[in-house]
Amino acid sequence: MTRTQPSPRVKVGLLQMASCPQPRDNLEKVREGIGRAAEQGVQILCLQELFRSQYFCQAEDEAFFDLAESIPGPTTESLSALARRHGMAMVVPLFERRAAGVYHNTAVVLDADGTLLGSYRKMHIPDDPLYYEKFYFTPGDRGYPTFETRYGSIGVLVCWDQWYPEAARLIALGGAQILFYPTAIGWHPSEKQQDGAAQQEAWKTMQRSHAIANGIFVASVNRVGFECPPGGEGLDFWGASFVCDPFGGVLAEASGEEELVVAECDWGRIEEVRRQWPFLRDRRIDSYAPIVNRLLDCPPTS
Amino acid sequence: MTRTQPSPRVKVGLLQMASCPQPRDNLEKVREGIGRAAEQGVQILCLQELFRSQYFCQAEDEAFFDLAESIPGPTTESLSALARRHGMAMVVPLFERRAAGVYHNTAVVLDADGTLLGSYRKMHIPDDPLYYEKFYFTPGDRGYPTFETRYGSIGVLVCWDQWYPEAARLIALGGAQILFYPTAIGWHPSEKQQDGAAQQEAWKTMQRSHAIANGIFVASVNRVGFECPPGGEGLDFWGASFVCDPFGGVLAEASGEEELVVAECDWGRIEEVRRQWPFLRDRRIDSYAPIVNRLLDCPPTS
């Protein structure tokens, strides 16, 4: 049997950058990167998490709330014009000011005509040394939406979300063909030598597993460069942005330097892989309800 | 900070074998393998899926129901005596006859004193060319138990289950320190050259991801050898049994030949890894309920 329908191929781009101290410089850098992506024919471009600034969550400082902006707002207006000009859909991660005291780590989706299709608000918020995100970000309250762009149905999750199979599953059940992970993950300098390779490998393995379990493309974009606030230890962001296919095969992968990663995604592969490995057919949906528990730790005597 | 409690280390063994045509020969082979495992100090041993026979699901033939046995039954009695003699807990996968017309693909857990602690009945049943399991196996109806053995809390899932993150999650939420996957997976000879490496890599990636997402040890044991029923194409079972730690790092791994894989698991690593990467802390249990749906495909207009 062969496929009877043409298989749309979509060019996906990931803009992996080092961040400048000034937000205006990062916007300028992204606008320039979008130009390069357009030259390469990119149709869906994903920017890195919180791309307008350095990763300020290394410290808890309420002054950083000044970095937040409304959605729609200045960044979405600027990039929406470029989306329309280039006919390029975009995932635009922003520090969102929703209301006084309610800020989110958000990713906006712009369609290729510049329309703001909606946004995803990061659901899983980390809080670990140098990643003090629970101070800044109110957990998302709108679940796991998918967005119908001109080039295909996409889902977005953000960084820490990538460790949660439930989130990827819900995105896939919603019909996404590709799942983007804007990310900011790096090494603590003191851990890099001993644990760095294992951390990066776990990060990649986890995201490739979401592609496999769900039969969808996964694309993750991480920042690069060493960022160190005054008096801090700093974080060494490892880049390594990548796109993988619905069986976890890596289509394109960045180094630890600034790079525009481009990969062609053949949506027909989703149909092929899911016919050969029909995991979604056999899900035991009658048995998963207890997954909404924190733990299943009833006393053994009960 | 350092750990204040001693960290129990447990020796885990996986008996990867080629299967003989006669069930009695496989039992003999396993009894011999248990002896070798005991010499190496194995404390929890896992046998491969349906270890008493060749992988009969390559064809649909009701005569093969004769291979099924009751639990407890002759195999559990035989191995329970060895478990007691060697002080070794065991995972014993069997073709279970539960009642006329109700057969299961089951894994029994024996404690180190020979007690039959209980069993897991395979929940996700595949059905693909040469893996006609839906003909033979009634889907399990008792969910995802954990078992308290002398050496630690264990969970068992079987083969096709390994592609389902929900199943691994529920085992982990139940408190398992290690999750075993008795398995029978091989290449179709016609696919091996082109897709073999990608299939094996996806299989391993998926299981390592369960270790990472849940902060538990994972151990998978697969058979080896080419098994071909008369007139069939046959399956080339790839072995590659492995044990990985709670961050997905491979501790021990077999080739494609017969092998007893032995790895030492330090239960203290679970505590360490979950402190450093506290994924279970941040699960958004308020948001996962829709995972019990087949798909989330409401019409876009609703």
Three-state secondary-structure class, residue A169: helix
pTM here is: 0.96
The CA R_g of chain A, rounded to the nearest whole Å, is 19
- Sort out which chain B residues have CB atoms less than 8 A from A290's CB and list them: 143, 170, 173
Q: Which residue has the tokens 């729609």?
A: A72
What pLDDT digit, counting tens, does each position of A226-281 carry? Answer: 999 888 889 999 999 999 999 999 999 999 999 999 999 999 999 999 999 999 99
Catalytic residue, candidates A46, A57, A122, A259: A122
Catalytic residue, candidates B57, B96, B133, B159: B159
The pLDDT, as a whole number, for residue A297 is 86
Residue A270 corresponds to which amino acid? I
- Look at strands A224-227 and A235-238 and give their pairing: antiparallel
Q: What is the mean pLDDT of residues B174-201?
A: 96
User: Which residue does chain B place closest to A148, by CA atoms?
Assistant: B300
Burial of residue A161 (number of CB atoms within 10 Å: 0-12, 13-18, 19+):
buried
What dihedral angle (degrees, nearest 10) is formed by the CA atoms of A44, A50, A52, A55? -140
What pLDDT digit, counting tens, does each position of A167-187 carry? Answer: 999 999 999 999 999 999 999
Task: Name the DSSP class of B19.
Answer: P
The pLDDT, as a whole number, for residue B226 is 97
Tokens in use for A248? 């976890």
- Sort out which chain B residues have CB atoms less than 8 A from A285's CB and list them: 291-294
User: Which residue does chain B place closest to A210, by CA atoms?
Assistant: B206
Q: Do A205 and B212 touch (CB under 8 A)?
A: yes
Run of H or E including A122: none
Catalytic residue, candidates A159, A227, A259, A265: A159
A296, A297, A301: which to substitute to probe chain B, counting the most B Cβ within 10 Å?
Answer: A296
Run of H or E including A231: none
Q: What is the mean pLDDT of residues A147-152?
A: 97
Is B122 an annotated catalytic residue?
Answer: yes
Compute the nearest-CA separation of B63 from chain A (Å).
26
Is A253 an annotated catalytic residue?
Answer: no
The pLDDT, as a whole number, for residue A300 is 42
Compute the nearest-CA separation of A17 from chain B (Å).
25
| Residue among B163, B282, B290 minimizing CB distance to A160 | B282
Q: Do A292 and B279 touch (CB under 8 A)?
A: no
> How many angstroms from the chain centroid is the CA of residue B245?
16
Is A32 an annotated catalytic residue?
Answer: no
Q: Do A173 and B285 touch (CB under 8 A)?
A: no
Superfamily grouping for domain B9-292: Carbon-nitrogen hydrolase (3.60.110.10)
Whether residue A141 contacts residue A72, with contact meaning beta carbons closer than 8 Å, is answered with: no
Handedness of CA B19, B23, B28, B31 (dihedral sign): positive
> E-assigned strands of A40-192?
44-47, 89-99, 102-110, 116-121, 146-149, 152-156, 178-183, 186-187
Handedness of CA B190, B194, B196, B199 (dihedral sign): negative
**Phi, psi (rounded to 5 degrees) for B168:** -60, -40
Catalytic residue, candidates B46, B122, B133, B259: B122
Mean pLDDT over all residues of chain A? Answer: 95
Mean pLDDT over all residues of chain B? Answer: 95
Cα A287 to Cα B143: distance, rounded to the nearest angstrom? 6
- Number of CB pairs, chain A paired with chain B, less than 8 A apart: 170
| Residue among B165, B198, B293 minimizing CB distance to A285 | B293
Q: What is the mean pLDDT of residues B253-280?
A: 97
User: Which residue does chain A place closest to B209, by CA atoms?
Assistant: A206
Whether residue B44 contacts residue B90, with contact meaning beta carbons closer than 8 Å, is answered with: yes
B141, B212, B244, B276: which to substitute to probe chain A, counting the most A Cβ within 10 Å?
Answer: B212
Find residue A9's DSSP bridge partners. A266
Cα B195 to Cα B191: distance, rounded to the nearest angstrom? 6
**Phi, psi (rounded to 5 degrees) for A272:** -60, -50
The pLDDT, as a whole number, for residue B78 is 98
A158, A194, A209, A286: which to substitute to probe chain B, counting the most B Cβ within 10 Å?
Answer: A209
The CA R_g of chain B, rounded to the nearest whole Å, is 19
Cα A224 to Cα A230: distance, rounded to the nearest angstrom? 19
Residue B135 has pLDDT above 70, yes or no: yes
**Contacts of range B95-100, beta carbons closer than 8 Å, 24 or more positions apart:** B95/B50, B95/B52, B95/B53, B95/B67, B95/B68, B95/B69, B95/B136, B96/B68, B96/B69, B96/B70, B96/B71, B96/B121, B97/B65, B97/B68, B97/B69, B97/B70, B98/B138
Q: Do B213 and A206 touch (CB under 8 A)?
A: yes
ipTM strictly over 0.90?
Answer: yes
The pLDDT, as a whole number, for residue B179 is 98
Burial of residue A174 (number of CB atoms within 10 Å: 0-12, 13-18, 19+):
buried
Three-state secondary-structure class, residue B200: helix
The pLDDT, as a whole number, for residue A7 is 62
Task: Name the DSSP class of A18.
Answer: B
Compute the nearest-CA separation of B168 from chain A (Å).
10
Find residue A182's DSSP bridge partners. A221
- Sort out which chain B residues have CB atoms less than 8 A from A143's CB and list them: 287, 290
